[in-house]
Amino acid sequence: MEAVKDKLTPKDFSSDQEVRWCPGCGDYSILKQVQTIMPELGIPQEDIVFVAGNGCSSRFPYYMNTFGIHSIHGRAPAIASGLKAVNPDLNLWVITGDGDSLSIGGNHLIHLLRRNFDMNVLMFNNEIYGLTKGQYSPTSPKGKVSKSTPMGSVDHPFNPLALTLGAEGTFIARTMDRDPKHAREVIMRAAGHKGTSFVEIYQNCNVFNDGAFFVYSDKSTKSVNTLYLEDGQPLVFDNNTKGLKFDGFLPIVVDLEDNSVNDLWIHDSSDNIKAAILAQLFDDPQQEDAMPRPFGVIYEEERFTYEDVFIEQINQAIEKNGEGDLDTLIQGGNTWEVA
């Protein structure tokens, strides 16, 4: 990949297309942060591709002054995988939503994660179908009243971080649209990961599911409900008055007036056991004694990428057998005469 000769700015990554989301949509904030970090990656615009599926979030490629594909519902991971396999130098971003990636596209997402192509997945989670006007989604909470569930959803919702950890993703994180500084930091770290990075972004749909995540962003409730993760640092929250420590393998909340910060759980994003425990901190914030919800990089590991071993295998075949002949391959080794 050639280095960028002239220093780019966020404005260089803004296309000439009018941004057409509903006024107040959280997508605007996410778009701004992505455009802001792009120049810092030092990658030429022509080497960057944004691939989207279908849904409100999937308009994203139109607004990025890079190459882009607005593909079909749920299939963005498959299309991005094909691109990366044949052109591994591309810097690839998959933009998707909770419906696009966890419903019709669920199978494609989990196989992308296990294969570990070097690309970035940003999943906008608003716990609703926005583009199709307000039906419940795979992440909608039980009891959600929507146009397709007028008496309330009876579905048990997906926990996206637990799902992606189960698929053995190598970079799993969560952030939110209403904390742009944190979102920027998480997305930047995801961009530097070698392998498939998955970032769940809590995104407010102010038309069909307004306020779904305000408990994690509103000043009056944020501190007690959010747990910001930082490697090497103790897990503290509620303005550093509370923390998490282990009772065996069970995380418990303790008051720091009566407990030492030295006894708290120290975050280590390379620990897959602790990551699994963190992903299960998924309580309804309205319930009594609800645990805080973690934000940040929950898990990261190094593992070979699909495109690297794929290309290595092709090179080994060429070294052993020479350049292949497509006509011979299509013809095959067996022939028949038809009378």
Tell me the pLDDT tens digit for each residue of 92-120: 999 999 999 999 999 999 999 999 999 99
pLDDT of 335 reads 75
Q: Burial of 337 by CB count in 10 Å (0-12 exposed, 13-18 middle, 19+ buried)?
A: exposed
Residue 339: pLDDT band with limits 50, 70, 90: confident
pLDDT of 3 reads 54
Rounded to an integer, what distance in angstroms lies between the CA atom of residue 296 and that of residue 256?
Answer: 22
State the chain's mean pLDDT as an integer: 94
**CATH fold of the domain at 10-212:** Rossmann fold (3.40.50)
Q: What is the pLDDT of residues 230-246, one digit of tens each?
A: 999 999 999 999 999 99
pLDDT of 101 reads 96
Rounded to an integer, what distance in angstroms lies between the CA atom of residue 257 and that of residue 298?
Answer: 27
Residue 84 contacts residue 307 (beta carbons within 8 Å): yes
Residue 250: pLDDT band with limits 50, 70, 90: very high
Q: What is the pLDDT of residues 122-179, one digit of tens each?
A: 999 999 999 988 999 999 999 889 999 999 999 999 999 999 999 999 999 999 999 9
Cβ-based neighbours of 16, under 8 Å, separated by 6 or more? 65
Cα-Cα-Cα-Cα dihedral of 199, 205, 209, 215, to 10°?
60
Reduced to 3 states (helix: H, G, I; strand: E, B; else coil), residue 156 is coil
Cβ-based neighbours of 20, under 8 Å, separated by 6 or more? 59
